[in-house]
Amino acid sequence: MTPESGFRLRHKHLLGIEPLDAEEIRLILDTAESFLEISTRPIKKVPTLRGRTIVNLFMEPSTRTRSSFEIAQKRLSADSLNLSSSTSSVTKGESLIDTAKNLEAMAPDMIILRHPAAGAAHLLSRVCHSSIVNAGDGAHEHPTQALLDAFTMRQKKGRIQGLEVAIVGDLLHSRVLRSNLFLLRKLGAKVRVSGPPTLVPPGLDRLGVAVTTRIEEALEGVDVVMMLRVQKERMVHGAFPSLREYFNLYGLTQARMKLARHDAIVMHPGPMNRGVEIAAEVADGATSVILDQVTNGVAVRMAVLYLLSGGAVGELAA
Amino acid sequence: MNWLLKGGRVVDPAGKLDAVRDVLVKDGKIARVGVGIPADNAKLLDVSGKVVAPGFIDMHVHLREPGREDEETMESGSAAAAAGGFASIAVMPNTDPWNDSQSITEYIVSQARARATVNVFPIGCISKQGKGEELAEIGDMVKSGIVAVSDDGHPVSSSHLMRMALEYTRIFDLPVIDHCEERSLSHGGVMHEGYHSTVLGLRGVPSASEEIMVARDLILAELTGGRIHIAHLSSRRSLDRVREAKAKGIRASCEVAPHHFVLTDAAVAESGYDTNTKMNPPLREEEDRLALLSGIADGTVDAIASDHAPHNPIEKEMEFDQAPFGILGLETSVPLALDRLFHAGRVDLSRLVSLYTSGPARILNLKRGTLAVGAVADITVLDLDRQTEVSVGAFRSKCRNAPYEGWKLKGAPILTLVGGRIVFDGRT
């Protein structure tokens, strides 16, 4: 099942998980394995992407994703440039396309884009020559998050195929959900999702997942529990009456974790709302792999940057 | 100039005619329809093998004048209409300023007379500035030539105001055209709510947002005896409501836009978030599209109207969330209908022609859409076999927001006459 030596990504951009096939996903995960060790060295730097220029264009707040990409770039010796909406000419009314074209005129090799509008990365991929990496576009996709989630599952469970995974929370607005659904289905995991019906988008059944409004049903016997963030703004829009009631109905507590397999792991893409979607003792408990996800994120993003720069399996310097 | 259109298949649903006939045009009027008419001093137009129909009417057009002349003008909009086979267009009042008073109506009428090559029939506002609060001076605007009222683009949210409009317009036997949208349901939505909005992560507009307002309007039409016309009807359940209402004798009519019977919400996904697939109401699901095709065939649908909505490329080339709603339609409506309705075997030619002529003429009380002797010589000639490939760059419209680039279509308008004048000649 492991890709053969010399296998490369068939895509110039990483716009989402949906366009990738299982072989490409495994290629990224396998490549990330070899990058994981670099972060444990005293000198955490390899020359792999020396001379490459990467722009991090973050039009939405981000802690984990942005620092993870930046660290990945530094460890690969790429030159990076960081722009956010507040420090760019977007505040002067410049359009996304014009912003990107102007950055392109300075010949970067890659643009990492985080944007509040779904499809923003597609838009750039149509007008830019450099590789576009989608670092989260609205409620659409967040492919590197799903890749690091899969990497973490594989690391903890030894496989993805056949795993039972429950994803719980605000399904409607979650790009993490969508990328994970595509990825987990492609790699043969079984997925159940749960959340209040007011936060469940239509058509999830067509994506091959079981939908339940009862969290208990979703957790029964699963190997992996992935909690999604619930934003307070959703309450204002009437999706649920209070954060307290939300926690009572859908919060991941130690009692509810007992419904999962005894060796089940708990994941969360962050940022977490303790006491809203997850109890603090579960987030910090022995089954939580939330910080491992963050650690693995760097290796996964190194792999993505490397592969999109034209790298292939078996070419990596030891 | 007098013309003799010789040897064409004359399809005039208003006169229940579908036969090979000559049509003599004299002094801007239809002078004779018959066999073997001598040319005399009329100039001969050989249209043998072609279809001669009453001048087509597009009853839902955004001409953007006054206010957004960068997007469309009398000249560009009427050139697009003429090339699309339309002799007449009815233009929506959501200009800047809104057409909510006699002076604006007169401005549009006088500008059209001076600069447009096709007939331009203004539609006035229901409410002052389209704000949905109080009735506009409809009587004044009627005097200056409006053919309907609508707050198109701003759905009338107050049921009371809609009731008042349906009652008040009875004085003038004027139709009230409603853009049916319950905004508290559609708020923030940018495409149809369904499987594809879920996968694309875009905020959805449920069909119910349209259906609720269609149901409300039909109930109010029954209450008031007023005439309701549902603009750009897009969903199966909306159509069912209109069908029921018509069966009950409620004075209701509806139009369907070509994009809703040729495309579905899958086009948003397949095009990779192309903002040319963003319009309001949005592209719906296949079951809706098939229902619209049935409604077009069985007579529930009264008219095909394009909802031609030009948008400046600068505003359209944006993130999907931020781009304005709207799609061009004047230059593709008839070829799409000929290809996807007529050649696909969904409707016969007479039915298709009625959707563009007698249907909209009846709704708007226009003395057009017929080739009866004495009628104004508005004529559309179709070549059913003409193969065309859509080239958005060649549109006469000032804008380019259409998702049909490269579509190969069979059947096209080749000649448009307005009041006996040739305003478009695409015969070669």
Q: How confident is the model at residue A318 (pLDDT cuts 50, 70, 90)?
A: very low
Q: What are the two backbone dihedrals, phi and then psi, of residue B122, each rounded to the nearest 5 degrees?
A: -75, 145
Higher pLDDT, A317 or B348: B348
Q: In chain A, what residues touch B269 (CB-CB under 8 Å)?
A: none
What's the number of CA atoms in the CB half-sphere (13 Å) around residue B59? 34
The answer to whether B377 touches B29, Cβ cutoff 8 Å, is: yes
- Kindly state whether B56 is in contact with chain A, defined as any CB-CB distance less than 8 angstroms: no
The answer to whether A134 touches A15, Cβ cutoff 8 Å, is: yes
Of A18, A116, A118, the CB nearest to B202: A118
Q: Which two tokens stand for residue B129?
A: 């500035």
Q: Give the neighbor-by-neighbor strand order of the sheet with B56-61.
A: B56-61, B86-91, B119-122
- Kindly state whether B158 is in contact with chain A, defined as any CB-CB distance less than 8 angstroms: no
The answer to whether B293 touches B261, Cβ cutoff 8 Å, is: yes
Determine the Cα–Cα distance for residues B217 and B236; give it in Å rounded to an integer: 16
Q: Would you put residue B374 in left (φ > 0), alpha (ψ -120 to 50) or beta?
A: left
Q: Which two tokens stand for residue A139?
A: 């409620």
**Least confident span in A98-102, A195-199, B121-125, B218-222:** A98-102
**Does A317 have pLDDT greater than 50?**
no
Determine the Cα–Cα distance for residues A3 and A246; give it in Å rounded to an integer: 44
Determine the Cα–Cα distance for residues B334 and B38; give it in Å rounded to an integer: 31
Instruction: Determine the residue of chain A that is closest to B204 in CA distance.
Output: A201
Q: What is residue A316's predicted lDDT score, i.e. its pLDDT? A: 59
Task: Tell me the CA distances in angstroms from B367 to B49, B176, B204, B360, one per residue in order.
Answer: 28, 19, 41, 11
Instruction: Determine the residue of chain A that is closest to B184 in CA distance.
Output: A237
Q: What are the two backbone dihedrals, phi and then psi, of residue B46, each rounded to the nearest 5 degrees?
A: -75, 110
Record: contact B273-A118, CB cut-off 8 A: yes
Q: In chain A, what residues touch B265 (CB-CB under 8 Å)?
A: none
Q: What is residue A88's predicted lDDT score, i.e. its pLDDT? A: 75
Of B194, B317, B319, the CB nearest to A119: B319
Q: What is residue B66's predicted lDDT score, i.e. its pLDDT? A: 95
Task: Tell me the CA distances in angstroms from A303 to A69, A267, A289, B27, one per residue in order.
Answer: 11, 21, 21, 77
Record: contact A202-B272, CB cut-off 8 A: no
Record: contact B319-A207, CB cut-off 8 A: no
**Does A313 have pLDDT greater than 70?**
no
Which pLDDT tens digits describe chain B residue by residue (428 residues)? Answer: 899 999 999 999 999 999 999 999 999 999 999 999 999 899 999 999 999 999 999 999 999 999 999 999 999 999 999 999 999 999 999 999 999 999 999 999 999 999 999 999 999 999 999 999 999 999 999 999 999 999 998 999 999 999 999 999 999 999 999 999 999 999 999 999 999 999 999 999 999 999 999 999 999 999 999 999 999 999 999 999 999 999 999 999 999 999 999 999 999 999 999 999 999 999 999 999 999 999 999 999 999 999 999 999 999 999 999 999 999 999 999 999 999 999 999 999 999 999 999 999 999 999 999 999 999 999 999 999 999 999 999 999 999 999 999 999 999 999 999 999 999 999 98
Determine the Cα–Cα distance for residues A129 and A105; give it in Å rounded to an integer: 10
The answer to whether B20 touches B11, Cβ cutoff 8 Å, is: no
Query: Does residue A303 sit in helix, strand or coil?
Result: helix
Beta-carbon count within 10 A of B356 CB? 30
Q: In chain A, what residues touch B196 (CB-CB under 8 Å)?
A: 203
Neighbour-count burial for B213-231, b at 16+ CB within 10 Å, e otherwise = bbbbbbbbbbebebbbbbb
| Active site annotation includes B307 | yes
Calculate helix-pair angle for B286-298, B349-356, nearest 10 degrees.
Answer: 100
Count, in order, helices (H) and strands (E) of chain A.
12, 9
Q: Which residues of A are catalytic?
A: 64-65, 92, 114, 142
CA distance B153 to chain A (A): 23
Chain B from 167 to 196: CB within 8 A of any A CB: 193-196
Record: contact B202-A139, CB cut-off 8 A: yes
Instruction: Determine the residue of chain A that is closest to B323 in CA distance.
Output: A117
The pTM assigned to this predicted structure is: 0.94
Instruction: Give the type of residue at B277.
Output: T
What's the number of CA atoms in the CB half-sphere (13 Å) around residue B261? 33
In this prediction the ipTM stands at 0.92
Q: What is residue A72's predicted lDDT score, i.e. its pLDDT? A: 98
The answer to whether B366 touches B57, Cβ cutoff 8 Å, is: yes
How many beta-carbon contacts under 8 Å exist across A and B? 68
Q: How confident is the model at residue A314 (pLDDT cuts 50, 70, 90)?
A: low
Q: Which of B200, B274, B318 to mutate to test the interface with A (most CBs of A within 10 A)?
A: B200
**Does A300 have pLDDT greater than 60?**
yes
Q: How confident is the model at residue A3 (pLDDT cuts 50, 70, 90)?
A: low
- Kindly state whether B159 is in contact with chain A, defined as any CB-CB distance less than 8 angstroms: no
Instruction: Determine the residue of chain B that is closest to A205 in CA distance.
Output: B195
pLDDT digits (tens, 9 = 90+) for A113-136: 999 999 999 999 999 999 999 999
Instruction: Determine the residue of chain A that is closest to B272 in CA distance.
Output: A122
Q: How confident is the model at residue A1 (pLDDT cuts 50, 70, 90)?
A: very low
